[in-house]
Amino acid sequence: MTVEPPGMAEVRAAASRLAGVAVRTPLLNFPWLDERLGGRVFLKAETFQRTGSFKFRGAWNRLVQLPEGARARGVVAFSSGNHAQGVAEAARLLGIPATLVMPGDAPGIKQAATRALGAEVVLYERGRESREAIAARLAGERGATLVPAFDDPDVIAGQGTAGLEIAEDLTALGLVPDIAVTCAGGGGLTAGCALALCDVFPEIAVFTAEPAACDDHRRSFISGQRERNAEEGGSICDALLAPMPGELTFAINARLCRGGFAVSDAEVRATMRLAFERLKLVLEPGGAVALAALLHRVGDLDGRMAVATLSGGNVDPVLFADCLTPPAAAD
DSSP 223-279: HTSPPPPSSS--SS-GGG--SS--HHHHHHHHHHEEEEEEE-HHHHHHHHHHHHHHH
> Does the pLDDT value for residue 326 go beyond 60?
yes
> Does the pLDDT value for residue 68 go beyond 70?
yes
pTM, to two decimals: 0.95
Q: In order of start, what are the domains of the chain with their CATH numbers?
A: 8-53+152-324 (3.40.50.1100), 56-146 (3.40.50.1100)
pLDDT score, position 329 = 61
Q: 260 - beta bridge partners?
A: 208
Closest CA to 52 of 312, 319, 239: 312
> Does the pLDDT value for residue 70 go beyond 80?
yes
How many Å apart are CA 106 and CA 7, to the nearest integer? 33
> Does the pLDDT value for residue 81 go beyond 70?
yes
Q: Is 26 left (phi over 0), alpha (psi -120 to 50) or beta?
A: beta
How many Å apart are CA 135 and CA 239, to the nearest integer? 18
> β-pairing, 98-103 with 305-310?
unpaired
Can you tell me the mean pLDDT for 86-91?
Answer: 98
> Does the pLDDT value for residue 143 go beyond 70?
yes
Can you tell me the mean pLDDT for 11-37?
Answer: 98
Can you tell me the mean pLDDT for 186-206?
Answer: 98
> β-pairing, 98-103 with 75-78?
parallel
Round the average pLDDT of the chain to a whole number and report it: 95
Q: Which tens digit of pLDDT belongs to each residue from 273-289?
A: 999 999 999 999 999 99
Q: At 12, is the secondary structure helix, strand, or coil?
A: helix
Phi and psi (nearest 5°) for 58? -65, -40
Can you tell me the mean pLDDT for 22-50?
Answer: 98
